[in-house]
Amino acid sequence: MAKNKSSHLELVLIQLISDVLEKSNKEALNYKQVSAKLNITDSDAKETILDILKQQAKKGIFAEPERGKFRLKDLKTFIIGKVDMTADGAAFIVPDDEFEKDVFVSSRKLHNALHGDKVKVYIYAKKSGRKNEGEVVEIIQRAKTDFIGVIKISDRFAFVNVDDKKMLHDIFVPLSDLNGAKNGQKVQVSITDWPEGAKNPIGKISTILGEQGENNTEMNAILAQYGFPLSFPPEVEKEANAIPEQVSAAEIEGRRDFRDTVTFTIDPADAKDFDDAISFKKLDNGNYEIGVHIADVSHYVRPNSALDKEAYGRATSVYLVDRVIPMLPERLSNGVCSLRPNEDKLCFAAVFELDEKANIITQWFGRTVIHSNRRFSYEEAQEVIETKEGDHAEEILKLNELAYILREKKFKEGAISFESTEVKFKLDEYGKPIGVYVKERKDAHKLIEDYMLLANRKVAEFIAKKGKGKQKYTFIYRSHDSPNLETLNTFALFAARFGYKINTKSDKEIAKSLNYLMEDVEGKKEQNVLTQLAIRSMAKAVYTTKKTSHYGLAFDHYTHFTSPIRRYPDVMVHRLLAAYLNGEKSANEEEYEIAASHSSAMEKRAADAERASIKYKQAEYLEDNIGNTYTGIISGVTEWGMYIELMANKCEGMIRLRDLTDDFYVLDEKNYCIVGQRKKKTYQLGDEVQVKVKKVDLSKRQIDFSLIQ
């Protein structure tokens, strides 16, 4: 069996033999013993096994401690990992074991494995200086079997051209499995089979999403692409509809009553789900009682109910450009749980007594009932702050004053202030973008954020300090690791080109200099580029049961307690907090860690879906502007092109390197730039350029620019 020329069947046999030798616990076995353990009696098959044992022994994979007997020498002959597909159809396998190196697999040796699949890979014996190479021998788990695309129907067969850039195969659909789909429609297709040796998988149409290019079709296509259901199952809706909207006397019993305390909500003007309210009372001792009241979702959504299982699966609400796909049915998210004004509502609260310097004198956690006096939009609350008059002006102004002190303390302790620009679209009645604007964050936004941060932090601290070591209580924390110093140093070198200095000597110095940077860069052309690069140099925040700190906020302990209508981790936090307040024992850590990991994965998926909807609307907005010229800033560089963010509307597209004909340009990854090989002309991240809109591909959500030199 020639090296790197193994048949797929032989590789499977090597895998099976390796499994037998590994289970023999270093005991040496001859080929008859291996055959017996594999239940092989055929003499020719036994000879094949002997040949494989000898050949692999020559390669140094199996050892031959005594003549005719073998054992597994290198347990790393196979690795398990996830497929990371490249644009040309090859892939890198990212091992589950973080200490292992990635393994390159050519397109011929993927054996129908797709992007994201969990696979077992045979690693070829490595020649000195070469990268790890291998071949997929088993697809352990498919990442997905459903894909979104446009169906093309001919007289004898049909194909779905898949939207997903990482899916490099069209899917063959027999005419009997069209499910009513018509030529050119956007559809969801499920892979049903992929015969060995066949170029394309076979599938059947599961959902017809609609006509290509229609707003509703395209938004639903994005949701389906990222695995978010388009509706709730009937049993979930039935369970939700059975919950009465009115709060009964029995439900109020045992709760702390805040119905006579001034309480209000502050949310976006178009919000429908109000999951947090603030209560305010001046105490006789001159201090202030401030309550952060959160919708008591866990009172209505009980463990293992149909509602709970659906919420767990979704894990988060999804915010696309023109719609919200809620984690909970509308009956709960916009009705029963929503803290609407002039209605009694059940809450879970964190209540603080603060003095004039925003020091916490006392704190209390528990279930409450409120009666919101007013629903403010951010704009209305901001007007009260700026004019110092209007409904509840006294309360809002004092809350804002204390919020400023809380914010200042947070930054003094090392929190980082990332103020990236948020793009919003003005849409017409058909969902078509007719304008783009940047959303402003003012004091009213920050006020609410500061009190939510306070509640999240103090709830986490309360549980973290309840028990230590083996006595610690299982809880869901929001964890954010320190940045990778190598990545941060690269960013610091780049920021220095714009005249900004990043001190990387300690976590506190990093935070301080990043805050200076964020302050200095505000309103400048390089703001978004530097902010996004700074964020990328940070670790990603995740949910976990481990008591780790939140670097970005400079909190020793942090959780998510304040948004259970739209985040499942918050529901779990409410349940755990309620249990521990009632004196119950610690919950099962392994079970909650699995749930935390799932929530982190779904959060990322929701963010990807949101970005896809923004990309689509940006492409749709520029579709009517082909040929127009704009000033842009280089926002990203890759081996194949430069990303350009237009300064006028924040739309982002690409100039492909193959379209730059004055030189041969290559990526200088370390210095964030593209360099011409002959003339040495450089295009640096953050440079201002003039571009023309060349091409827009709505189906791929891509914008191509040409450079005006």
Closest CA to 676 of 664, 694, 690: 664
Q: Left (φ > 0), alpha (ψ -120 to 50) or beta: where does 413 sit?
A: alpha
Kind and range of the H or E run holding 464? helix 443-464
The dihedral built from the CA positions of residue 628, 631, 636 and 638, taken in this order, carries a sign that is: positive
- Give residue 488's Cα distance to chain centre: 22
Residues 368-401 pLDDT 10s: 999 999 999 999 999 999 999 999 999 999 999 9
- Give residue 709's Cα distance to chain centre: 38
Distance CA 443, CA 453 (A): 15
457-461, 515-519, 616-620: segment of lowest average pLDDT:
515-519
Greatest mean pLDDT among 313-317, 320-324, 614-618 lies in 313-317
The dihedral built from the CA positions of residue 97, 102, 104 and 110, taken in this order, carries a sign that is: positive
Band of the pLDDT at 609, cuts 50, 70, 90?
A: very high
Q: What number is the average pLDDT over the span 293-318?
A: 97
- The pLDDT, as a whole number, for residue 392 is 96
Comparing 186 with 50, the larger pLDDT belongs to 186
Distance CA 601, CA 177 (A): 32
Tally DSSP H helices, then E strands, for the chain.
17, 34
- The pLDDT, as a whole number, for residue 443 is 94
pLDDT at 4 over 50: no
Token pair, residue 298, equals 């866990």
Reported pTM = 0.83
Cβ atoms within 10 A of the Cβ of 37, count?
Answer: 16
Q: Which residue has the tokens 């209580």?
A: 473
Distance CA 86, CA 54 (A): 35
- The pLDDT, as a whole number, for residue 482 is 79
**Phi, psi at residue 380, to the nearest 5°?**
-65, -45
The rounded mean pLDDT for the chain is 89
Cβ contact 83:110 at 8 Å: yes
Distance CA 317, CA 443 (A): 26
Distance CA 382, CA 640 (A): 45
Residues 523-537 pLDDT 10s: 777 777 788 778 777
Band of the pLDDT at 237, cuts 50, 70, 90?
A: very high
pLDDT at 186 over 90: yes
36-45, 209-218, 305-314, 589-598: segment of lowest average pLDDT:
36-45
Side by side, the strands of the sheet bearing 134-141 are: 103-105, 91-95, 78-85, 118-123, 134-141
pLDDT at 114 over 90: yes
Alpha-carbon distance values, 432 to 210, 224, 404, 436 (Å): 16, 20, 39, 11
pLDDT at 358 over 70: yes
Q: What number is the average pLDDT over the span 19-43?
A: 80
Q: What number is the average pLDDT over the span 639-651?
A: 90
Distance CA 222, CA 552 (A): 31
Band of the pLDDT at 2, cuts 50, 70, 90?
A: very low
Residues 409-437 pLDDT 10s: 988 888 887 766 677 889 888 888 988 88
Distance CA 341, CA 162 (A): 46
CA angle 425, 430, 432 (to 5 degrees): 35
Cβ contact 529:302 at 8 Å: no
